[in-house]
Amino acid sequence: MPKIQFKGIDVYFSDQGKGSAVVLLHGFLEASWMWEALLPELAHSHRVICIDLLGHGQTDCLGYVHSMDEMAEAVEAVLKHLKLRRVILVGHSMGGYVALALAEVNPDIVKSLVLYQSTARADSEEKKKDRNRVIKIAKSNSKSFVKKSIPMLFRPVNRTKFKSEISELKEKASQTSTCGIIAALAGMRDRPNREILLKSPPYPVHIIAGDKDPRISYKESCELADISEFVKLHTIKGSGHMSYIEAPNQTLEIFNTVLK
């Protein structure tokens, strides 16, 4: 993968296809590899850039807190390196938080924003406490934390159906360093509420939600979609938080719609 220098570390990315630029930002415990199944189809009609966010994939850590804003700075650095002026931003889960942070400081670069099983809301106080609890667990045994966390992202009925895929996902996610895990958890915990960006954005916003998502409730996604006429909700039926595995055909169909 090509790389750029950002604040003294290497940030890795891939750049494939031709056409309108689409930037794919992965979620927590993921990396650019999460887009592998979708990439061949998307690259037929778009220039697709996948970025390993701070502390994930091949990209190193900067410290023990990676704010969503700092992750967004790294993404913007890649886009400047590639001389991209306007892009479609797609963020899965944590990647959506990063996309929102970038859209807040540089709205002119955003052609459209896709929150893929993500939210514009901040963590609740209860969720912040849970993040702190999880940080302690990850500090003591990050590998065990990863193995226990991954299945919980799936709809319960799908944990057996996609047993082999979950096993592979655990293996890939376990390569995330303890530093990367802790820094991302702290950054997600501290992120601000960005619902205001959905009220009158200068670009279309799409929310892709799994109606059985155990992490980002479908109810919350529906509420965010009701904020303004500029936000459109797309529902993946029967999917948990990992629809690119749980419902790949539905996911690709929606992507082909929102990326036009």
The CATH number of 3-258 is: 3.40.50.1820
Please state, in angstroms and rounded to a whole number, the distance separating the CA atoms of residues 50 and 166: 22
CA distances from 213 to 139, 181, 217 (A): 27, 22, 6
Mean pLDDT of 140-157: 96
Token pair belonging to 208: 């892709």
* Per-residue model confidence as pLDDT tens digits over 40-49: 999 999 999 9
Q: So what's the pLDDT on residue 134?
A: 96
Confidence band of 238 (pLDDT split at 50, 70, 90): very high
Element (H, E) at 13: strand 9-16
What average pLDDT does this structure show over 18-38?
97
pLDDT at 260 over 90: no
Number of Cβ within 10 Å of residue 96's Cβ equals: 27
Cα 121–Cα 123–Cα 124 angle in degrees, nearest 5? 105
Residue 171 has pLDDT above 90, yes or no: yes
The fraction of the chain above a pLDDT of 70, given in percent, is 100
70-98, pLDDT tens digit by residue? Answer: 999 999 999 999 999 999 999 999 999 99
| 151 pLDDT higher than 90 | yes
Contact 47, 70 (CB under 8 A): no
Three-state secondary structure call for residue 233: strand
Tell me what percent of the residues of the chain surpass a pLDDT of 90. Answer: 100
Distance CA 155, CA 239 (A): 6
Q: At what angle do helices 163-173 and 142-149 cross, to 10 degrees?
A: 150
Average pLDDT, the chain: 97
Angle between helices 178-190 and 142-149 (to 10 degrees): 60
Contacts of residue 215, Cβ cutoff 8 Å, sequence gap at least 6:
93, 117, 153, 240, 241
pLDDT attached to residue 91: 98
Give the tens place of pLDDT for each residue, 189-237: 999 999 999 999 999 999 999 999 999 999 999 999 999 999 999 999 9
Average pLDDT over residues 164-186: 97
Predicted local distance difference test score (pLDDT) of residue 121:
98
* Closest residue by Cα to residue 206 from 56, 99, 104: 99
| pLDDT for position 245 | 98
Rounded CA-CA distance 126/130 in Å is 6
Domains of the chain, by residue range, sit at 3-258
